Amino acid sequence: MKKVLLAGLLGLATLAPLTLSAAEKATLPKGYEKWEKSKQQVITDKKSLFYGIHYTYVNPKAMKTYRTGGTYPEGSTFVVVQYSIKDAGGKPTEGKKQMIVLMKKDKNFKQTGGWQYAGFNPDGRPSGLDPVSNCYECHLKTAKGTDFIISKYADFK
């Protein structure tokens, strides 16, 4: 019994590095800036990971489901680009690019609901963002019923 328990614990311990190494190997899709782009979204809650101004880019494969709802097809991809907030006469305006986040439907990422999550620095290098605690856990709590997509098309345009 002790051997089985130990083997199970060792097996679980190996999943976390696999998840992180997969996020580290993620790359930003080429040309995502040409995908459909959301209107400016402003998050003023300084406690939020997404405090700032951001835009969401949605690839063509995901857009139909994004408009109508349902389960996203394999390869559906969202990229969120976040900027700091600058005050321009009492109006929040776009500051420096802060981070880029990728969410891609990939059945191989079973431990994160079939989605690959990854974070990038402004220059496109992996940021070391933890895809489980920084991404999936929040998506699981707030968007399990929408195939883990938090944003809504109504907020997009």
Per-residue confidence (pLDDT) for residue 48, from 0 to 100? 86
Instruction: Tell me the torsion sign for CA atoms 118, 121, 123, 125.
Output: negative
CA atoms of 50 and 19, how far apart (whole Å): 22
Question: Which of 14-18, 41-45, 57-61 has the least mean pLDDT?
Answer: 14-18
Question: Which of 34-38, 53-57, 94-98, 134-138 has the least mean pLDDT?
Answer: 134-138
Per-residue confidence (pLDDT) for residue 7, from 0 to 100? 37
Position 68: which residue type?
A: T
Share of the chain above pLDDT 90, in %: 69
Residues 116/23, Cβ–Cβ less than 8 Å: yes
Per-residue confidence (pLDDT) for residue 13, from 0 to 100? 39
Coil, strand or helix: which one is 80?
Answer: strand
Query: 58 pLDDT exceeds 70?
Result: yes
**Better-scored residue on pLDDT, 1 or 136:** 136
Per-residue confidence (pLDDT) for residue 20, from 0 to 100? 44
Q: What is the mean pLDDT of residues 121-125?
A: 95
Per-residue confidence (pLDDT) for residue 154, from 0 to 100? 87
Per-residue confidence (pLDDT) for residue 6, from 0 to 100? 33
CATH numeric code, 2-155 = 3.50.70.20
Kindly report, residue by residue over 62-90, the tens digit of the pLDDT.
999 999 999 999 999 999 999 999 988 88
Instruction: Give the domain ranges of the chain.
Output: 2-155
Question: Which of 48-52, 78-82, 96-100, 117-121 has the least mean pLDDT?
Answer: 48-52
